[in-house]
Amino acid sequence: MQCPYCKEEVIDGALKCMHCCSDLTLLPKAMKTEATDFGVMLNVAFIVWKENLGDLVIMTLVFLLLCWVPIANIGFIAGYTRSLLKVARGQGKSQVGDLFNAWDCFTNLFIYVLINLTIIFSLYLVSLPGALATFALVFILAPGTFRIIDKGRGASDAYRWCFETSQAKFINWLFAYLVGNIIAGIGIVALFIGGHPHRAFGAVVHHPAV
């Protein structure tokens, strides 16, 4: 069978992947086959978050504070991603220190992100066609970041891998991309709306006459 994490071949019924050391006993039987669909993956993701909610919430809050630091945020994003992968693979619990443990892939990830941003900004100059091309480009290139973060590969290998995996698992990646953007959008809106009561309360405090 194929490991659902690293996509390498493992012995049928294996308890642990010999390649990425992921714990395969934690996965539903449906996820241990190559025919895994997005619904199963999404369900597993919810289970992982539910069972590790406290640790993941704490790490996420710290990450949100650090991700605003220019340039260095690339390393924090890598650390956050690795921590999520570690939890999903049953290799341990999420810890705040994980955010600072991915500097080994910083250079390759920085180069990959810099090249992609240069292409994206260039496309934005083409107006509407550029915006549509950018949406498609981000979808195609997103998997490459995981290749660099998880496997420590270079940018050239990431480009090759992301095109290959996007074609092989097109529907799963498309759903993951769309749902991920929707969830992120909801989170941003929630944070924006949640900020209004605090601003209103601050206005009352600073203006007692109101």
Q: Note whether 22 and 89 are within 8 A (CB).
A: yes
CA triple 192-197-201, angle to 5 deg: 140
Per-residue model confidence as pLDDT tens digits over 107-125: 999 999 999 988 888 877 7
Is the pLDDT at 158 greater than 70? The verdict is: yes
Is the pLDDT at 151 greater than 80? The verdict is: yes
Among 7, 24, 44, 37, smallest CA distance to 164 is for 7
**Entry pTM:** 0.72
